[in-house]
A = this chain, B = another copy of it.
């Protein structure tokens, strides 16, 4: 250990090193939220440093919001660290809002292009790791099925989608707690089309949509394009804040609510079952349709996937949307919607917009679900995503400024990072862009003035290049 004093080469001071070391132990889980950390005296002994140095270190950690002093008791890891460090704003601050026409700024549109730019390190995108997808098997099944159903592959597909596929999806629907029949389902060109069909089936221009905030930017684009107004409802690790939603519903005419309850993009959060039930019941009371995007639901790290909000839907008010783009093949463009009581409207709109979804890829995915070992495949990628998400999380905690907080998802591969107060994630995005790295700054996830110190990270990919990019990014942030 160096002596406690400024050295000539600009190296960190001793108290800073100690703060970093303890901070690291908090972030890597050695000390968990609410737990006591070593006392000043104990640390002096362990590290053989002065009490002053330890006290300076702890003051620093306190300022960063990592620890708190409890009188007569010692220092504890802040218990609010148990939450993804977003949206700690008091409820009142969210209550003085009115629905606003969605208008996405040019800066956000530019970011959305950048994060989809394949020549940049794709840390800002939401794409899965294609190396983990069963490409060869799927493409083999694409061959065999298009031979087996030679005429069906080339003829106009049924508008609702192939029954073979709808049946397989229906069989799996028990896993998400909502026993669907093949006829309850409409096949779409991916989940984005499904949510668009849903929105267009339940809203008209000028209507207001309540949506969990931070908002998946593609929703914002659809909402803007449809001429809808938007009410952002704050979300935490428990999903959408239902008190705020309730308040919003009582003070505004809300035409639809949108949620990503399972492994939210961008928060990574998982809404507990009882809150899903509450959400559906609140909306049912006011006859407001709920559009659920469950595209990450199959990527739970635990052995079984979480249920969908549709599991609690007794009135056909939930339009449940999902796809195989995160688990099998985004390039196949196969998703689906279970639109509840809006089925006819959704189906008519699907026919109107593009007649039906491509046949051969539907048939291939139906075959994969039947004989491809989908569950085995899911177990494999869930394990990998759990590991990689933890790795990226650790790297961020290690390489980013002290006090940086990262969500701790239980599924998917999306991380939400919050830099310490005062940091500007958009500037970090710009600096990263200059060195060929794309991240998604928090400002693209809202139409308000929020999330300026936040950004979304994609942890699906792992390689030396990604690792190096994270180190570079951390350096830029500092």
A: which residues have CB within 8 A of B?
A: 116, 127, 130, 133, 135-136, 138-139, 142-143, 146-147, 150-157, 159, 188-190, 192-193, 196, 205, 218, 221-222, 225, 227, 325, 328-333, 349, 352-361
Contacts and interface: CB of A to CB of B under 8 A. Distances in A.
A354 B139 contact: no
Contacts of A325: 156
A325 B156 CA distance: 8
A135 B156 contact: no
B349 A333 contact: no
A150 B136 contact: yes
B349 A225 contact: yes
B361 A225 contact: no
Contacts of A354: 188-190, 192-193, 196, 333, 354
A329 B154 contact: yes
A358 B361 contact: yes
Contacts of A328: 154
A413 to B, nearest CB: 15
Contact of A142 (B146, B156, B190, B205): B146
Contacts of A360: 139, 142, 331-332, 360-361
A444 to B, nearest CB: 14
Contacts of A221: 352
Contacts of A353: 192-193, 196, 353
A51 to B, nearest CB: 57
A136 B146 CA distance: 9
Q: State the oligomeric state as a number of copies.
A: 2
A330 B360 CA distance: 11
Contacts of A130: 151, 154-155
Contact of A331 (B135, B142, B152, B188): B152
Nearest to A353: B196
Contacts of A116: 159
Contacts of A150: 135-136, 139
6 contacts: A130-B151, A139-B360, A153-B331, A156-B331, A192-B353, A332-B360
B154 A133 contact: yes
Contacts of A357: 189, 333
A358 B332 CA distance: 5
A202 B324 CA distance: 33
Which of A135, A218, A331 has the most CB atoms of chain B within a 10 A radius of its CB? A331
Nearest to A157: B331
Contacts of A193: 353-354
Contacts of A155: 127, 130, 330-331
A141 to B, nearest CB: 10
B135 A151 contact: yes
Nearest to A349: B225
Contacts of A156: 127, 325, 330-331
A466 to B, nearest CB: 17
Given A133-B154, A331-B360, 9 more contacts: A127-B156, A130-B155, A135-B151, A139-B146, A139-B154, A142-B153, A143-B143, A192-B354, A333-B358
A333 B352 contact: no
Q: What are the nearest 4 A-B pairs in CB distance?
A: A143-B143, A331-B359, A154-B329, A193-B354
Nearest to A194: B354
A126 to B, nearest CB: 10
A152 B147 CA distance: 21
A154 B333 contact: no
A354 B218 CA distance: 10
A231 B222 CA distance: 29
Given A156-B330, A353-B196, A358 B136 contact: no
A225 B197 CA distance: 12
Nearest to A224: B352
A356 B331 CA distance: 8
Contact of A356 (B138, B159, B333): B333
Contacts of A152: 331
B352 A225 contact: yes
Contacts of A332: 153-154, 358-360
B355 A190 contact: yes
Nearest to A156: B330
A192 B357 CA distance: 12
